[in-house]
Amino acid sequence: MSVVAFDLGFQSCYIAVARAGGIETIANEYSDRCTPSFVSFGPRNRSIGAAAKSQVVTNYKNTVQGFKRFHGRAFSDPYIQTAKSNLVYELAQMPSGSTGIKVPSYFTDAERRSVMDAAQIAGLNCLRLMNETTAVTLAYGIYKQDLPAPEEKPRIVVFVDLGHSGYQVSVCAFNKGKLKILATAFDSELGGKDFDDILVNHFCEQFGKKYKLDVKSKPRALVRLYQECEKLKKLMSANSSDLPLNIECFMNDIDVSSTLNRGHFEEMCAELLAKVEGPLRSVMEQAKLKKEDIYAVEIVGGASRMPAIKERISRFFGKELSTTLNADEAVARGCALQCAILSPAFKVREFSITDVVPYSISLKWNSAAEDGVSDCEVFPKNHAAPFSKVLTFYRKEPFTLEAYYNNPKELPYPSTTIGQFLIQNVVPQASGESAKVKVKVRVNIHGVFSVSSASLVEVIKTPEGEEPMETDQTVKEEESKMQVDQEDQKLEADGTGDKKSETEEMETTEDARQEKKNDQPPQAKKPKVKTKTVELPIENSLHWQLSSEVLNMFVENEGKMIMQDKLEKERNDAKNNVEEYVYDMRDKLHGVLEKFVNEADRDAFSLKLEDTENWLYEDGEDQQKQVYIDKLAELKKIGQPIYERYIESEERPKAFEDLGRQLQMYMKIIEAYKSKAEQYAHLDELEVTRVDKHVNDTMVWMNSKMNQQNSQNLTMEPVVKVEEIKAKTKELYSACNPVVTKPKPKVEPPKEEKTENGPVNGQEATENQPCNPDTTTSTGTEQETVEKKLPQMDID
């Protein structure tokens, strides 16, 4: 059993697997551990990864790439509408109103839910949705042996992740066996892709002036330019000299060329580079740390290799950067470690992880006491996660809670709404007072906010000595014989309940408190109370959340596409088998198979192969799988006998050689027996005679078949086949081998004559005489041990 972790990036993805031997980043079908984040849609099937990337130029309209920044955004989002003009493929609006392309991201609540939906559609059991920087911290810390003890001051490490589409920074405190994220910051508009855009815009402008080409009007040319600019950017990270950019037949059969160096490139990217320090400063302020408190700064992500980026990060912290982690695979490996920790199938070193809520989350609702709206912050920014709280409301009717993010400036897009949660079936108490409703809100292990449960707490009072009647409701009851204090009695006296101010409070362990006995007259009846908790249904209306009907439709569609992909692959394989057979047989007919087919048959078969090849590229270009299977069977009906004659000719000499070798061996044994050799003197004469006859018969058969085959034309069916020769060899072995390998009969050794003082022949005879197992007695282990040691003893 293994667990799998996915690091799905803007440009590429990595998959790590936790196995018994440790964490391994696995390779794809092209033996590459980096799989491009591309999906290409053809007329019959999909291509994913490297196969899709190879079609990005030829099938650019149907090859989707660079979609990570679209997750969780509405189709009407200003960013989406702006980005549409720069894409070579089209975006479609889904019925739910969100963008039609869904792939993982780790930012807001809507994005996290989209990842969970995508995992469900793909048939994956997602153990945890993990923040990228948290995965990096786990990959860094779990192998460290020198971390401070839990009671000591933690080791503070800053992690900087600059990928192709985003820039993330986190500060983490490490102690032995645990890590705690202290603060996070990010810039979703800073990544390797933004540097590529600057290069592309630069060369589009340059080629427009130099060659009079409008590059952005030709999507295919624009895709090729992006590919070349990405290569040039990587080269400039390793070289500061002028580097060329050459593209043949770029547009209108025109070859283009240019040069650029690192210095000029960094000048063009000055605005982007200035944004590097912002998140660094933000996490230090949030965590209230000084630069002297930082133990190390670890950088990961493909874009972190740019010298200008590294120089600015190093200058900000005033220390050398650490690169102990694999910049590309650290996230996937950290996720795999987390999966192994969560899975019961693996035994992993204990290591606790405390993540944070990246944004402050608040709730608002319509106040029952006043005509207005109340709100409160339930999870402040950088609050530990996962975490839950219980809030208490006093209501007479159902009410709605709306969750939202407090600070819109922190979000990667303008929408701040998380969702609305309707608490249903709320009714007043029997006395007409407002009912007490407890609502549990939480941020789960995936970082997703939810109102997980709601319950109505009803207090039933009965006179002393009288037990309250049981109700026939499906409720969870909590009984307690506690008194109601004066404050509760005062609230109960308010018949309308309108004057009771609505409050919110953390859940206490008891719903009623001990009454102060001194405040009651001794003769007063002391009411008993019984609390009854009724679970309330919650109706969720989440922002950009797929409905269950739409999600089920996508699951069904994905299953259909998987089946269609499988059928198309089988169809293509059947077609390729025909094409491969045509090319293979056409070459062999004038090569190794030439001697095994006559000229007329060879010419006819060659013509048949040529017709099949033409058919494959004309009428047979797009046929059903069975058509190709039948076509291959038709060709093999002609070609297989020719090929079998060739195989028989190649293997027949060795088969005859093996048979002849056995015949010679048995003939030598028979000759030795007839010569009265002591080695075979014990063999039975009648059995040896039978062996002699069998050997002679087999020799006659072999010589006859060899002579017939030598006179047979190679273009005709062989006189004897290899299988017949092997069967004859096996028959000879079965008949002769048991006779000639019969062992000699055992000779019983003479019994020893013993006297009272020991053996007749003395001690030496005892030492040299082998022990007879038939005379062994059960004298115990000690005696056996002594007998074994006797040869090692000195004799006087």
pLDDT at 80: 74
Sheet containing 296-300: order of strands:
296-300, 155-162, 167-175, 178-187, 352-356, 384-385
pLDDT digits (tens, 9 = 90+) for 637-688: 999 999 999 999 999 999 999 999 999 999 999 999 999 888 888 888 999 9
What spatial distance separates the first Cα and last Cα of the chain, rounded to whole Å? 67
Point out which residues pair with 399 in neighbouring strands: 423
pLDDT tens, residue by residue, 372-392: 678 888 888 888 888 899 999
Ordered structural domains, the chain, with CATH: 193-270 (3.90.640.10), 359-461+536-542 (2.60.34.10), 547-738 (1.20.1270.10)
Q: Is pLDDT larger for residue 166 or for residue 761?
A: 166
Residue 47 tokens, joined: 């291509």
Phi, psi (rounded to 5 degrees) for 180? -140, 125
Dihedral sign (CA 418, 420, 421, 426): positive
If pLDDT is split at 50, 70 and 90, which confidence band does 527 have?
Answer: low
The band of 720, judged by pLDDT with boundaries at 50, 70 and 90, is very high
Q: Give the whole-angstrom CA distance, residue 382 versus residue 186.
A: 13
Which amino acid is residue 581, in one-letter code?
Y
Task: Kindly state the average pLDDT of the residues 33-51.
Answer: 90
Q: What is the mean pLDDT of the chain?
A: 81
Q: Write down the pLDDT at residue 529.
A: 67
Angstrom distances, CA of residue 607 to CA of 348, 602, 716: 66, 9, 21
pLDDT tens string 774-793: 444 444 444 444 344 434 43
pLDDT surpassing 50 at residue 590: yes
pTM for the model stands at 0.72
pLDDT at 108: 78
Tell me how crowded residue 698 is: count the other CB atoms within 10 A of its CB: 21
User: Is residue 524 scored above 60 in pLDDT?
Assistant: no
pLDDT interval class at 454 (50, 70, 90): very high
pLDDT tens track for 125-137: 888 888 888 999 9
pLDDT in tens, 103-121: 333 467 888 888 888 888 8
pLDDT of residue 369: 62
Residue 738 reports pLDDT greater than 60: yes
Which pLDDT does position 373 carry in this prediction?
Answer: 76
- Token look-up 């190794």 returns 592
CA 580/CA 364 separation, integer angstroms: 68
pLDDT number for residue 350:
85
Mean pLDDT within 725-738: 94
Residue-wise pLDDT for 345-357, tens only, equals: 888 888 899 988 8
Q: Residue 566 pLDDT more than 80?
A: yes
> pLDDT tens digits for 502-523?
433 334 333 334 443 444 445 4
Residue 279, C-beta contacts closer than 8 angstroms, at least 6 positions apart: 167, 168, 169, 185, 186, 187
The pLDDT assigned to 467 comes to 45
